[in-house]
Amino acid sequence: MSPAVPPASASAPEPAVLQPLLPSDPSAIAGYRLLGRLGAGGMGVVYLGRTDSGELAAVKVTHADHADQPDFRARFRREVEAARRVSSPWAVPVTGADPDAPEPWMATAFVPGPSLGEAVTAHGPLPERSVRILGGALARALAAVHAAGLVHRDVKPGNVLLAVDGPRLIDFGIARTTGETALTSTGMVVGTPGFLAPEQAEARAAEIGPPSDVFALGCLLAHAATGRPPFGTGAVDALLYRTVHDEPDLDGIPEALLPLVTACLAKDPAERPTAAEIAARLTEDTPGSAADWLPAPVVRTIAERSAAMLALPEIDATRPGASAPDGRPAPSRRKFLLASGGAVLAAGGGIGAWATLRDDGTGRKATPPPKKRRWVIGVHADLTGPAEDIGRAQERGARLAVEQFNARKDKPFTLELKVSDDGGDKNKALAAARVLTGDPDVLGVLGPTSDYTGLAALPAYDEALVPLITVSAGLNLLSNAPGGQGLSVLQACPQHAIAGTYLAYYVLTKSRSVRPGILQERTDDTYAWQYTGGANFGFRQGKVTPLPRVVPGTTTDYKRVLGAMMADGMDAYVHCGLTPSAVLAARALDELGFTGLKVTGQHVFEPRFLAEAGDAAEGWVLGAPVVDATTVKAASPFVAAHRKRYGTAPAFYTGESFDLVTLLAQELAKAAKAGKRPDRRTLAPLLRKAGHQGIMGGYVFDPETGQLRTGVVGTFMYVVENGRYKALDFAPAGPPKNRRT
């Protein structure tokens, strides 16, 4: 098993537009007047703050429930101490902190500039001179980190901000004293896959030191020069493996920089140069106050965001009579920004956020008169994109659950449904989520429909701690242990790796296979990798060694690939990939006359596979986290209600959506009967503990992670018969006992 990788909770989100303060937000922290939200995550919120003298700062405030945990407070105190120990013009300075406050906070200087990751994504690779200056400044920053006896451990594009006077290294949330391992769990990979050293990838804690930061710096410079990470993208396990075993992809790096970057990426820490040596080798002058070290498009981005900062409320509106220490009126923010070149401050947590706030003369956004509170359940779905059939089914299930609740004579309130469509586009998912989380009356959300829209939307749900219940998104990153992302997620379907394990158990139970083939098709690397890993694990649990193959997503000659697998003894076949490749595999196996069991998973379970594979699909067995409601006796009244409401039998995923919205409605009703309206931020733990026996079956969740309990089977098997999916039964939850081969 691979080592665990914690979510990068210490790292802040990517840059975003400044959001207004919520009614629950404070107006000030210590000496900082809060102007708006820069971002938020499971740990807390980062605000844009301003002092009486006009300085802007990023103020990170932790949630009180985390602050009550001694180990969390210790980590936060260590972060503050680490940041304060680093003295470099290229590292963000701490301007204030109180780790012992009821809600610990830390303020760092602020710069209105994009992160390196944002700049490269928006404008492409940096020119050679920019990369040299970037590398020299960051090497000096790391030299200061290492001189302070620290290791940063998360040097990545999102943790570097670009300003006209040079870059800034930020975020010391997971920095450690050299040699310190006590607060790191055994086998825990800490950092960002793709930008960490081999010793970090293999969780060799005793070997993690300054050379680890140098390796990460090499990855960062390669990314800046080429626009891509040197070890590619995709599944976490794949990235970790490539980092340890594969050579980096350095094509496109300027010839003059190639030897240095290559040296930084040496697998052996002892062979890497020190940060001070890198700084000496990159002799390009530092940029000083000039902006010509960056390409013009990046400079324009900085200028636009600096100008937007000038539209914030004037400093003398912060507090009546505010003045400088010598009694003179405090300088305006306009003078402060212009005098400083508009880019002398660096944002803690990697956040840049710039927008005009409309205010009522006090700097706070005007608060409308209070409205009567509603009881609203949200649906975040793909209603107009590639998974619209599933999204529409989920919306219908939710709507029927709300209508059934409202038909009760004893209902304590009337439920409403609010729907937000992301079109299956991960670039629109976050905005779709904020439509729901931005409405304080939305108490819980069903969705999203798909893996990657779910992952893209997660920051909004983490920020608001709104319960998010998904019946179709099986990506493992959607739910994790406390302190990571997915703090309020209930994943009411098996994760893809677990579903892959169930497929293997099914093959072992239903056949005498001794040489099952597993093909990983890499169009959707994360999904396919997780199914492959799960299937491998399941077969080995059954004492069977599978025959693996990995093919690029562009592969079309499946007859050659599968013919070779058959020649090697393949007697059953597990397809870990998407529908187009499954169609090619079905046709190839049909032409080859393969008679063994053929199975595949959730992302192929769709009408398209039947239509495009035709007769070649006959006999294939598919697993999906959904049951046909028309085959479930307990669901008969629901099926009848659906026919009456929509004129058809319910589609797949409708019944599960009905069940989970019913669970949410029941928990809301319990709170209402107790005479109070629930705080939506406290609902997820209650839902995770409650579980539910619905019309489609039982749902039991891990109270810590929100994942469907292991052993609670959630993969139902279907066989293709006469061009249709015929329901079989649930996949077994374990390998068969006393299996005869």
Other CB atoms within 10 Å distance of the CB of residue 406: 14
Here the tokens at position 223 are 């990314």
Cβ pair 699, 692 in contact under 8 A: yes
Is residue 154 annotated as part of the catalytic site, yes or no? Answer: yes
Q: Please, where are the H alpha helices in 285-370?
A: 296-309, 333-339
Bond preceding residue 482 cis, omega within 30 of 0: no
SS3 content of the chain, % helix, strand, coil (to 5): 40, 15, 45
Sheet holding 28-29: strands in order across? 28-29, 32-40, 44-50, 56-62, 105-109, 94-98
For 269, which DSSP code?
G
- The one-letter amino acid code at 619 reads G
For 415, which DSSP code?
E
In the block, tokens 């659906």 appear at 642
Other CB atoms within 10 Å distance of the CB of residue 653: 28
- The one-letter amino acid code at 153 reads R
How far is Cα of residue 600 from the mean position of the Cα atoms in its chain?
26
- Active-site hit among 52, 154, 213, 451: 154
56 Cβ partners below 8 Å, 6+ apart?
48, 49, 50, 109, 110, 309, 333, 345
Distance CA 273, CA 313 (A): 48
Q: What is the largest CA-CA distance in the chain?
A: 91
| Cα dihedral 253, 257, 259, 260 in deg (nearest 10) | -120
Among candidate residues 174, 185, 196, the one with its CA nearest the CA of residue 242: 196
574 Cβ partners below 8 Å, 6+ apart?
500, 503, 504, 507, 516, 517, 518, 519, 531, 535, 546, 599, 600
DSSP line for 626-689: ---GGG-GGGHHHHHHHHHHHSSPPPTTHHHHHHHHHHHHHHHHHHHHTTSPPPGGGHHHHHHH
- The one-letter amino acid code at 228 reads R
User: Catalytic residue numbers?
Assistant: 154
